[in-house]
Amino acid sequence: MPSITKTLAKRILPQIAIEAVLRRREKRALDLVPDLDFEPSALIASTLFDHSVIFAAQSPLDSDWEADHGAIVRQATEGRIGSAVSAGDRRALYRLVRHFQPKSVLEFGTHLGMSTYYLAQALARNGAGRITTVDIIDVNGDGGAWRQAGLKMPPAEIAKALGLSGHVEFVAEPSTEFMAGQQDTYDLIFLDGDHAASAVYREVAWALGRLNPGGQIILHDYFPNGTRLFPDLQVVQGPYLAFDRLSRENPSIGIVPFSPLPWTTMPGTNNTSLAALVRM
């Protein structure tokens, strides 16, 4: 009988080969993008982003989290949202908003709305704030992912049931069109839409120009140096390739991976692919 090591190797090696092909493809597409301006002055300073404080294992905010998490899960059945941002990642985003207390949040990539609810609930707990969440499709229509996931109602109705309608605006528009027509500024921008390296590179450049002083840009699916974070999940190439290029062009921009967190993110691991851009 093959050893556990050999079994894992048989499963992982084909994934590594696929990832290498995808990495080369992403890199070629990224190389075609002209250099963009990355002005980091509005970014939060690295010295102010204290991972051990923001994501402390024990926090006075935990009772709020338990209550808000329970309320959201009752509206959006946990067992049917496997393709959404993990519960551990949602807890990290919730904690981030409670800690820094932004008033204006922008999210690219609504999907099922799971991260949206937690960001909005954290804003509500803070007493003020609004999130604008953008997706290329109408997530509340019949073609939204909520139908395929088996949820009982679309994201806007779930937000309403949670009492969060006043804290959330849903926008159905490609990120490129939204960026072209948008002049508002934000305290926190969460990039979780198009994960292609070329798209992330462009979105970060735009986000830096729409960030309020001391603001934050959060990446999802950032795998540091393309390293594997989860045994059974393929490495997403785009965000780390985009950051690799922009950091070489702009050394004053750094990144703080949230991993590991003091709580479980997926079965058997505390790892997360969330990360924050910071000013060095």
What DSSP assignment string belongs to 43-70? BPBGGG--HHHHT-SS-TTHHHHHHHHH
Q: What is the pLDDT of residues 60-91, one digit of tens each?
A: 999 999 999 999 998 886 555 555 688 899 99
Residue 71's CATH number: 3.40.50.150
For the stretch 208-260, pLDDT in tens is: 999 999 999 999 999 999 888 988 788 899 999 999 999 999 999 999 999 99
Average pLDDT of the residues in 36-57:
96
Q: Which residue has the higher pLDDT, 90 or 23?
A: 90
* Bridge partners, 190 (sequence order): 107, 218
Say what the pTM is: 0.92
Range of the domain at 230: 4-279
Instruction: Report the number of distinct structural domains present in the chain.
Output: 1
- Residue 257 CB neighbour total at 10 angstroms: 18
